[in-house]
């Protein structure tokens, strides 16, 4: 099979699974709607203001969209950071980049941002700034130049802890009412967001993807080392900057709209690597759809497992991700450490 045909087949299968999981998620939730009622709302046979219609179309559907987008963005950010650092265990939350973005959001909220599309855009900008600062700090702490796998992870943990403390400091200084639901959000929480904000989220995530996807072939060459990539014709400096900007933007958009959800960027790329191999030209697009599937499934579990209460989706991803990280470390990457 030609690589192009393989990509189409992979994306087709993943899209079908996403559709099925999304459809299933429409029927699950704290409001007790019968499957018939959901179907009636979907086909427009109920009034626009009926409970069935509001719950299905204005609450569940946008939330499904947020979950799919956020999961896709995080998974692509994971692939991008892994290729950029040539470290298969790198990921926005492990690298502390999510923590930096979260600190940016908390600062943004404490100066009064957060309402409407403009507020959301402002928070995304603060999150991006935080992500860039955190990634820069990791680079400095780990010592610029050749980063070993361990040093980079250690630097990420240190930076992540620092920003977690910084967030606590800000929260204790600011009136808690102004930081509505911050604790829930800090664990990673997919809430229904208004259509305009959802559009903004989709745009920023798409921009991040557009910075990474066209360079997937060059990312393969970067895996040979920066010098080898240059000797094969890659402008490595420009490539690294673009990939870094893309990964930071993807991370920042998710953190701004859904909070620092951990481990998606680790679980999804590695699961896909087991199936597809290390070729980033397959991995990047597959991770975008596969990440959506994973986070959507995790969110559906999070909002039904303790119904009528709700878990933060970040709890589910961490419960899956932490053991997965240990398993990767002890089996597949033992030789690298």
Partner 1 sequence: MIVEARGVGFVYPPARRVRPFRLADLTFGVAAGELLGVIGPNSAGKTTLIRLLSRVLEPSAGEILLEGRPLARLDRAEVARCVAVVPQGVPPQFPFTVEELVLMGRFPHAPGRYFESGADRATARAAMAATGVLELATLPLDTLSGGERQRAVIARALAQEPRLLVLDEPTAHLDLRYQAETAALLRRLNRERHVSILLVSHDLNLAAEVCDRLLLLAGGRPVRLGAPEEVLEAEVLEAVYGCEVHVDKNAASRRPVVQVVWPDAGGR
Helix (H), strand (E) at residue 213 = none
Please state, in angstroms and as integers, the Cα–Cα distance from residue 282 to each residue in 37, 92, 206, 286, 308, following that order: 39, 20, 17, 6, 40
Q: Is 281 in the site for partner 1 (CB under 8 A)?
A: yes
x/- track of binding to partner 1 for residues 20-59 (CB under 8 A): ----------------------------------------
The answer to whether 169 touches 110, Cβ cutoff 8 Å, is: no
Q: Which of 72, 88, 100, 246 binds partner 1 (CB under 8 A)?
A: 88
Out of 113, 142, 209, 234, the residue judged to bind partner 1 by CB under 8 A? 234
Q: Considering the complex, what minimum distance in angstroms separates the CB of residue 88 from partner 1?
A: 6
Cα gap 101→105, rounded to integer Å:
6
Using CA atoms, how far apart are residues 98 and 14, in angstroms rounded to an integer? Answer: 26
CB of 217 to partner 1, least distance (A): 6
Q: What does 145-210 look like in DSSP terms, one character per residue? A: SS--HHHHHHHHHHHHHHHHHHHHHHHHHS-GGGSTTHHHHHT-------HHHHHHHHHHHHHHHH
User: CB of residue 4 vs partner 1: minimum separation in angstroms?
Assistant: 5
Of 45-53, 69-77, 119-127, 233-241: span binding partner 1 (CB under 8 A): 233-241
- List alpha helices for 259-312, DSSP H: 264-276, 280-302
CB 98 within 8 A of CB 251: yes
112 phi and psi angles, rounded to 5 deg: 105, 5
Residue 274 in the binding site for partner 1 (CB under 8 A): no
The C-alpha atoms of residue 215 and residue 233 are separated, in whole angstroms, by: 13
CB of 90 to partner 1, least distance (A): 10
Q: Are 104 and 126 in contact (CB under 8 A)?
A: yes
Least separation in angstroms between CB 126 and partner 1: 33
Q: Does 4 bind partner 1 (CB under 8 A)?
A: yes
What distance in Å separates the CA atoms of residue 312 and residue 29, rounded to the nearest whole number?
14
Window 119-158: contact mask with partner 1 (x via CB under 8 A): ------------------------------x---------
Q: What's the CA angle centered on 27, arms 12 and 197, to 5 degrees?
A: 75
Chosen residue from 11, 42, 54, 86 binding partner 1 by CB under 8 A: 86
Count residues near partner 1 (CB under 8 A). 31
Compose the 190-229 pattern: x for residues touching partner 1 by CB under 8 A, - for all others: ------------------------x-xxx-xx-xxx-xx-
Q: Which of 13, 176, 235, 308 binds partner 1 (CB under 8 A)?
A: 235
If binding is defined by CB under 8 A, does position 297 make contact with partner 1? no
Residues that bind partner 1 in the complex, under the rule CB under 8 A: 2-4, 7, 86-88, 149, 214, 216-218, 220-221, 223-225, 227-228, 230-235, 277-279, 281, 335-336
């Amino acid at each position: 099979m030609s690589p192009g045909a393989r990509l189409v087949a992979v994306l087709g299968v993943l899209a079908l699974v996403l559709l099925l999981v999304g459809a299933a998620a429409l029927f699950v939730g704290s409001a007790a709607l019968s499957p018939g009622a959901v179907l009636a709302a979907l086909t427009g046979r109920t009034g626009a203001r009926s409970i069935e219609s509001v719950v299905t179309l204005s609450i569940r559907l946008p939330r499904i969209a947020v979950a799919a987008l956020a999961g896709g963005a995080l998974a692509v950010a994971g692939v991008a950071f892994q290729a950029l650092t040539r470290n298969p265990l790198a990921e926005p939350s492990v690298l502390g980049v999510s923590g930096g973005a979260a600190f940016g959001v908390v600062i943004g909220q404490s100066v009064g941002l957060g309402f409407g599309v403009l507020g959301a855009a402002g928070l995304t900008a603060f999150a991006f700034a935080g992500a860039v600062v955190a990634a820069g700090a990791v680079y400095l702490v780990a010592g610029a130049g050749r980063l070993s796998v361990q040093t980079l992870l250690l630097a990420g943990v240190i930076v992540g802890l620092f920003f977690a403390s910084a967030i606590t400091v800000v929260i204790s200084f600011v009136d808690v009412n102004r930081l509505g639901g911050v604790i829930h959000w800090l664990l990673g929480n997919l809430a229904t967001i208004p259509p305009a904000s959802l559009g903004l989220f989709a745009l920023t995530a798409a921009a991040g993807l557009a910075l990474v996807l066209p360079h997937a072939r060059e990312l393969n060459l970067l895996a040979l080392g920066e010098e080898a990539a240059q000797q094969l014709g890659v402008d490595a400096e420009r490539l690294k900057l673009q990939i870094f900007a893309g990964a930071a933007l993807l991370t920042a958009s998710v953190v701004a709209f859904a909070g620092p959800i951990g481990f998606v960027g680790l679980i999804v790329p590695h699961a896909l690597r087991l199936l597809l191999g290390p070729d980033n030209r397959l991995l990047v697009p597959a991770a975008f759809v596969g990440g959506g599937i994973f986070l959507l499934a995790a969110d559906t579990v999070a909002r039904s497992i303790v119904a009528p209460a709700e878990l933060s989706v970040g709890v589910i991803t961490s419960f899956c991700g932490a053991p997965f990280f240990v398993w990767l470390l002890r089996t597949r990457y033992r030789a690298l450490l």
